[in-house]
Structure 1
Amino acid sequence: MSWQKAAWLLCGDQVCLAIMAQTWSLSVLGWVPGIITMVVAGIIFWITSMTMHRYIMKYPQIRDICDFGYYIFGKSKIAYEFTGFMLLANNIMLIGFHVLTGARILNTLSDHSQCTVVFNIIIMIMGIVCSVPRTLKHVSFMSIFSAFFMGLSILLFMIFAGIEPAPGYGYNGDYPTDGPVRTYAFPLPGTTFVACMNAVLNITFLWVPQILFPTFISEMSNPADFPKSLAVLTGVSAFLFIVPPAVGFRYLGQYSTAPAFGSLGVTTYKKASFAFVIIPTLVIGVIYANVSAKFIYHRIMGRSRHAHSNTVIGWSAWIGVMIGIWIIAWIFAEVIPSMGDFLSLLSAAFDSFFGFIYFSIAEFSMHQGNLFGGPWRSFMSILYIFIMACGLFMLGPGFYAAVEAIIADYSGATRPAFSCANLAI
């Protein structure tokens, strides 16, 4: 890929439905902690991504995040296998989230005209078909349309939120059950640690896509150009991750839901803005499926000619692996009662490593023996100690908060596995 195509691929991955969950995060945290968390997460994302790129330039044989883990832990095979497990678990659960999201979209648009299991199967089959191309160059072309339609969906949401007379629904009841719409600088009285921590994890989840970056870099025609692609992504992300959620919070206030489309009071507005999300839902699922399939495929094929040639065995193995990934993801989509809480769990369990801890170790590894050699090096080392602490905090208290939210889900009325229940927003 050229750096331009890599930029489109990055934007296609990042411009996603999770943006529409940030309005809810602001409604939990309030303006001040919410915006500060968004800005700090963005700064850490840029710094750690640049460190990852420098490390890969030092070891250009790195092909994916598993190779990255292998080298930063001193060429440890245990680290490689552990990272591989984390990669597949993270990606397949995320694909399952997108299968479930696609079913919610079809439920919403059709007024639940079919059993939700049927909608999930439809999305799974569409995902398998779109995942057939073996190179990310082809997927990057799809990402152009993904980013465009998600941007259009976000724009429509902001317009509709601004022109409608009042929101329709919030987690505390229909409008005006919880009083007039209001915004606030800090969390409302009674807001729990679990709620605040899950709101923070929701934000960090959106800012931590680096698990895919080594794979993207390995398929670039000139990997040294990756910072250009990263600059485009960071600019787009900084705008989309802050402005639309802020607009949504301004007009929805305490009635914000995740995704924010669910709070719109006019059904036509809800359907019109949510409909376009079907494209990014499929494309982002395809991106994660492609990266996951490559890891498995290369383990199966090794260095044989089938790994890179257009042979019947090669294509059969590729399609078989892809079908297997989507079927497992579909099962996750069917059996998990609340994907929102599981996203927080993913953020705590996986993003703590792939957004914070791994890159701190890479930084310390590159400057071993000279961590405090001069003012700038001392500053960077202290900064990465802070980043490491953030990752460990997410892995500890963050993981606890995510698990508590899931336990609360299971203690209430939950959607049974393989249910036909209506999941429309």
Structure 2
Amino acid sequence: MSFPWSYSVLGLVPGLILTVVVAALVLYTSLIVWEFCLLHPDVKDVCDIGKILFWGKNWAWYLTAAMFLLNNTFIQVYDTPPNELHRMLTARQGFHCLVGSKYLNTISNHGMCTIGFSAILAVVSFFCSLPRTFSTLAKVATASALFTFVSVILATVFAIIEEHPNGYDGTPPKVLIVPAVGTGFVAGMNAFMNISYTFIGQITIPSFIAEMKDPRDFPKALWAVTIAEVVVFSVVGAVIYSQTGTNHITAPAFGSLGSEIYKKAAFSFMIPTMIFLGVLYASVSARFVYFNIFTGTRHHGNHTLVGWASWTAILAATWIVAFIIAEVIPFFSDLLSLMGSVFDSFFGFIFWGTAYIRMRRAEYGPGFWRARGWRGVLGIVMNLALILIGLVFLTGGTYVSTSNYCCSTQVF
């Protein structure tokens, strides 16, 4: 629901092209992750991959683990509250405890303070995180995806049938086919990162593959998800943007709906997703800690009192820490944007370009790009480009995040 805003900055045509390009890059890198996991069946999570990629050094494992846990914890409770445009632009797009609390606060006409609602959602999410296998979470994920689909379709239909968008002042929607003259680097990079953050999620793939009955089936799900994402994101983004235009768009686009009834009806279907996405990252983090404590013991794969008590305690700790961080740090969304730029540069691009090079070198030798002919040349060029894109994320994203923080501080 933030894609319409991205299209308003980038222009409709470049925005749609970038949507397809980013989706293709994430699909390609996800296939690299899958191939790497098949070659290394002992891999349990992205931290094991980090250690293998960087010459089996323990420091690589610990550094990857730190980024892995911080990434999951920071987006576990908070992504971006609705109707806070500046904060929405650079953060990941999702709906977890804090955004859920703001929604409940609005829908109940401020029946309780936001922190109270946030605490309630954190407790609910904690209990939803208790299943120790992804097979149980998969059922919740299916329901979450269905409700999210209903939400965005409702918002799209409402945008079409409404006579005027929110804030209509008699000026018809202004739809840009290409970026407006004078669009700066910070605005353009914000919009590009907004699209990219929505797709990037390779950090969890090794954990999923480790639990699959047959990991060779993973590409089927990956292709299905990617095609569905491109179709839904592009259609919803383009249609809503065409109805609201640059002059009436908000991020997320729920705020562009003129009717409060339409707005609340569409956004209400996001409630399961508010809970599930936080649950997913909490579960991945807890599994990482739990497995590293109990691998090789009878508590690992059995229902024991010690195992369940430890699992519950680990989950509780992750939710408590995430809740405290989200509520205590006053510049949390800006910090999240900065960390997203740093983490996604590695977990979205740099790791997987490096993984491809390491796999092909091990298979064909130091001159693998020559030994494989045109495929080798194309492969090395593409994966060096992936690493370069990651470096652009790391430098450009950091610059944009710090620029936005400075601007928000000056405005305040």
Q: TM-score, normalised by structure 2?
A: 0.90
Please name the residue that 2:199 is paired with: 207
Please name the residue that 2:285 is paired with: 292
Cα gap change, 1:190 to 1:334, in 2 (>3 Å): farther
Q: Give the letter for the 2:223 counterpart.
A: A
Please name the residue that 1:416 is paired with: none
Cα gap change, 1:339 to 1:158, in 2 (>3 Å): farther
Matched, 1:398 2:397: yes
2:150 alignment partner, one of 149, 152, 155: 152
Please name the residue that 1:423 is paired with: none
Deviation (angstroms), 1:31: 1.3
Cα deviations across residues 194-237 of structure 1 (Å, max 9, x unaligned)?
Answer: 12111111111111110000000000011111111111111211
Please name the residue that 1:242 is paired with: 234
What number of residue pairs does the alignment pair up?
Answer: 388
Deviation (angstroms), 1:358: 0.3
Cα gap change, 1:183 to 1:409, in 2 (>3 Å): same
Deviation (angstroms), 1:342: 5.0
SS state of the match for residue 134, structure 1? coil
Find the aligned partners of 1:347 and 1:37 in 2 and give their Cα distance: 19
Query: Which consecutive unaligned segments of at least 5 residues does structure 2 have?
Result: 79-95
Q: TM-score, normalised by structure 1?
A: 0.88
1:276 alignment partner, one of 257, 269, 272: 269
Find the aligned partners of 2:20 and 2:340 in 1 and give their Cα distance: 17
Find the aligned partners of 1:112 and 1:394 in 2 and give their Cα distance: 38
Higher relative contact order (CA 8 A, sep 6+): 1
Cα gap change, 1:114 to 1:44, in 2 (>3 Å): same
Deviation (angstroms), 1:337: 5.3
Contact 2:71 2:340 in 1 (8 A): no
Contact 2:77 2:122 in 1 (8 A): no
Structure 1 segment 30-69 matched on structure 2, within 5 A: 30-69=11-50
Please name the residue that 2:91 is paired with: none
Matched, 1:233 2:225: yes
Find the aligned partners of 1:312 and 1:139 in 2 and give their Cα distance: 22
Deviation (angstroms), 1:339: 6.5
Find the aligned partners of 1:113 and 1:202 in 2 and give their Cα distance: 32
Cα gap change, 1:344 to 1:247, in 2 (>3 Å): farther
1:103 alignment partner, one of 101, 104, 128: 101
Find the aligned partners of 1:291 and 1:398 in 2 and give their Cα distance: 25
Structure 1 segment 7-406 matched on structure 2, within 5 A: 20-97=1-78, 98-168=96-166, 174-176=167-169, 179-254=171-246, 255-336=248-329, 341=334, 344-368=337-361, 369=366, 370-373=368-371, 374-406=373-405
Contact 1:202 1:343 in 2 (8 A): no
Find the aligned partners of 1:76 and 1:390 in 2 and give their Cα distance: 25
Cα deviations across residues 271-309 of structure 1 (Å, max 9, x unaligned)?
Answer: 000001010111111111100001111233342222222
Please name the residue that 1:412 is paired with: 411
Q: Give the letter for the 1:186 counterpart.
A: V
Query: Which consecutive unaligned segments of at least 5 residues does structure 1 have?
Result: 1-19, 169-173, 414-425
Contact 1:337 1:409 in 2 (8 A): no
Cα deviations across residues 243-296 of structure 1 (Å, max 9, x unaligned)?
Answer: 111111111111222211011111000000000101011111111110000111
Aligned CA-pair RMSD: 1.6
Deviation (angstroms), 1:399: 1.3
Find the aligned partners of 2:332 and 2:2 in 1 and give their Cα distance: 12
Contact 1:109 1:271 in 2 (8 A): yes
SS state of the match for residue 135, structure 2? helix
